[in-house]
Chains A and B, each alone.
Chain A
């Protein structure tokens, strides 16, 4: 269980809305998203491509271009950082908040040694350390992410590393200044399953040994099952369901969550047919009124197409669905959708 923080959550996001410019005018890509994370907690943010999961995290980090409108409240450690100066954000990024991206090769500089890149990150936030101290800290970071033979690896270039090893280096750079929060955006998507398991193990060690809170962004609900305390499911820019991991998996209340779960291929019950979700998510241009999932939903009523479902509480979960209770009883009976 996550340790309760004394003075509120580490990161508290309320009503986050991101309006992006498109050729046909501004469109809301993230709508009224709420989430929070406590110290040492791991939460999963799950959704398909285009659901707004990466966009909302980039908004938190202040990484979006100026012509993207970000509104709402983003409180980090009690401090409002939505609309903060670039100078303040730069101090936070790589310091208290760090981020790991999907593609480790593009995150690293190909013409600099791994060691130099880690040292640069430490130096940015700790001026005045001697070369020896910097090197020692960089080496201990490489050890923390389980890179064998760190002394030799320190002097090597990114191309000499395999995909899994590069992702470890990126994680080492991210944790260089002992952040409170690590945002990992699809950190294992490009990797083999065996390497994925190794990276996930590193994440769970970072949480238990260093108390780092982690936001794990992924399209694969299966991946967060072993690690996250709570899950937020995003669809078409909205949080459609959020709650403790056990209730999300045992008793999904939103038909979208239930279908996502049913779509995960598993090694323990190999079935002849997987449950696919028909249709595709709505594009930014044609997000209509009502529930965004309605056109693909097996339980949709005429009402769903016109009235956006409000967020209500069911047990431990918050759900935005007109048919949450019906879905929950279907889930209890073991039928996905």
Chain B
């Protein structure tokens, strides 16, 4: 029994270890010299198990998309390791990376921008298969199956992207990702550009695909309410770091970090009576410039609970419950 626990099935599919992604700030025109660095991702560790959904939630500028791009091999981490199964993504050559991409796919926020406007829906979905050397018949079977999974009618597959609504376009984007049968899909804000009524359909679809194929999702979003019904676990990001991570229900019922609490409090409740009675924590100001990270805890400049210690000591992660970690001096 004990030996089995170290077996593959339990090992995470994706293991991000102490990853830093820094972008240099240069000044001067001819002999531009580096005058500083923006730590977009500032020492992040997380893991995603096979078949589960981990959501990474944070405001714009918190580094969540940079993290996604590092996992896709689109930016190189300054330091740290990203293990996908047994392979360390950070040490792969571009051609090895291309091989691996069939296993990791990305769904973007703006489905219109990621589809080729001069290709039909069918051709758009078939395009990623070019790297797989399939026969014509195999390709046709795969594309038809992918379109079927995203509930697009066969007669619609000859249309061009402009003829589809936002929700349908996002379905084509999802079909494009699942057609190569990857193990992991990184969903970068897949529904934030869609109407609420359409969002629900796309989220349900993603969930159905997962229960049918056992695929693993890394879901990146800024709205906790949206990730709620999708996620097994949720990690909350602020200024390049994870400030709290926990199983989904703990985040919703026992959030311990003031930032997570503020995010929850900012989400509107669709009930006029309770919404009016509610005491809101409204954060003041914006996320600070990551080039000038505040000393100590990065959140202290907006935190309603901040004390002297918060500007002096960076809070280390502490465990609130199994699987529930929080970086705060005054968790509640």
Contacts and interface: CB of A to CB of B under 8 A. Distances in A.
Contacts of B248: 270
B161 to A, nearest CB: 15
B197 A198 contact: no
Interface stretch (B19-27, B125-133, B260-268): B260-268
Closest 5 CB pairs of A and B: A276-B201, A274-B200, A226-B275, A276-B200, A222-B270
A115 to B, nearest CB: 20
Interface residues of B, number: 48
A225 B272 contact: yes
Contacts of A272: 207, 229
Interface of B: 59-61, 165-168, 195-201, 203-204, 207, 222-226, 228-229, 248-249, 252, 262-273, 275-276, 278, 280, 282-286
B199 A226 contact: no
Interface of A: 48-49, 148, 162-165, 192-198, 200-201, 219-223, 225-226, 245-246, 249, 259-261, 263-268, 270-278, 280
Given A48-B195, A264-B270, 17 more contacts: A49-B195, A148-B285, A162-B286, A193-B263, A194-B59, A197-B266, A197-B283, A222-B268, A225-B269, A225-B270, A225-B271, A225-B275, A246-B272, A249-B271, A267-B224, A274-B200, A277-B200
Contacts of B249: 270
Contact of B263 (A194, A201, A271, A273): A194
Contacts of B165: 49, 280
A228 B120 CA distance: 43
Contacts of B199: 263, 265, 274
Contacts, number: 133
9 contacts: A48-B195, A48-B198, A49-B195, A192-B59, A226-B276, A260-B196, A263-B200, A271-B229, A274-B203
A249 B270 contact: yes
A280 B268 contact: no
Classify the interface of chain B: helix, strand, loop or mixed.
Answer: helix
Contacts of A249: 270-272
A223 B222 contact: no
B197 A267 contact: no
A260 B223 CA distance: 18
A270 B272 contact: no
Interface centre among B59, B168, B226 (most CB of A within 10 A): B59
A273 B223 contact: no
Contacts of B272: 225-226, 245-246, 249
A201 B167 CA distance: 30
B200 A223 contact: no
Contacts of A263: 196-197, 199-200
B155 to A, nearest CB: 15
A201 B265 CA distance: 13
Contacts of A164: 286
Contacts of B269: 222, 225-226, 266-268
